[in-house]
Amino acid sequence: MKIAYFSAEPWEKEYVAKRLPKNDVLFYDGHVNANPEVSEPDAEALSVFVDSKIGEPQLARFPKLKWVATRSTGFDHIDLAACAKRGIGVANVPSYGENTVAEFAFALILALSRRIIEAHDLISRTGTFTQEHLRGFDLAGKTLGVVGCGHIGVNAIRIGNGFGMKVLGFDVRQDAALAQKLGFSYAGLDELLASSDIITLHVPYNAHTRHLLNRDNMKKIKRGATLINTSRGGIVETEALIGALKDGTISCAGLDVLEEEGEMSETEELALLTAKHPNESALKAVLADRYLIDHPCVIVTPHIAFDTDEAVKRIVDTTLENLKAFIAGTPVNLVKLND
């Protein structure tokens, strides 16, 4: 079987090829959209990362395609309706970084609560070891609000318990036995927002969670709270977040994702900002992202919460299982259109 594999790291090519010896695996550097000239008429399977946007135009380049294996848990970069229309199955990696992403969320929390980046920058810029304006706050005794109590959220709850925090959880599916075992309480979203000193988001991105935090319910957030988003940028309405930072509702934020993530170069960004008749929505996105990146109380990282040696290997191993299962005619980890 011919498999088109995009965005593979150098080590990954040898690793994957060795484990799919009876198949013709074609590796491409970069994502599908960065290789517009690539068209594989005989490819039956496609393996991509979240940087590849898969819709009808991309699917048309692979006319015999029957399977898309995304090397991610999230699948909002794939047009499931377009795949279903062509009878193409989609598989994801349902679990790989439960501890990995939760640990990164707390890395952001600790960096903000103890002003670590500011302290390092101060020493780098001035060479002085002053403690002025660097006072932080304890996590012990604070209330942690975990939005989404799935695999990653549960690990965030465990870590919060380890710091001696009171933990509230919000999820559409409640598990009383789990809450009792881990010692946290479920709460409605509004109650969680109003009661939490730190809010960390661990929900998938879909039609139900888009702008889960928005201009209406952000007004209910406990004044001075910290917001952490290692999920998807679209979970948070960017303009509402900026407003909450400006009026002090949110004192600081750690964002591994932005609503308008992209690969716009500085030249393209400058052209957009100076164009006579710019695209209004794109211009707003650039300005909003720039505001968040430059804000002294916001840490922005480039979607790396998942990115550890161990987690990436788990992702690739599960993807190989998904491809092998498809080849054997027993597909696993199928993503449904209404998921």
Structure tokens at 281: 């929505």
Question: Over the Cα atoms of the chain, what is R_g?
Answer: 22
Q: Is 261 a catalytic residue?
A: yes
Tokens of 155: 């690990």
Tokens describing residue 320: 């190989």
Selection from 74, 35, 75 nearest residue 58 by Cα: 35
Task: Pinpoint the alpha helices (H) of the chain.
Answer: 10-19, 56-59, 80-85, 98-113, 116-126, 151-162, 176-182, 189-195, 238-247, 266-274, 280-294, 309-327
Burial class (CB in 10 A: 0-12, 13-18, 19+), 172: exposed
- Residue 310 catalytic? no
Find the catalytic residue in 191, 239, 261, 269: 261
Considering 115, 232, 237, 314, which one is annotated as catalytic?
232
Active site residues: 232, 261
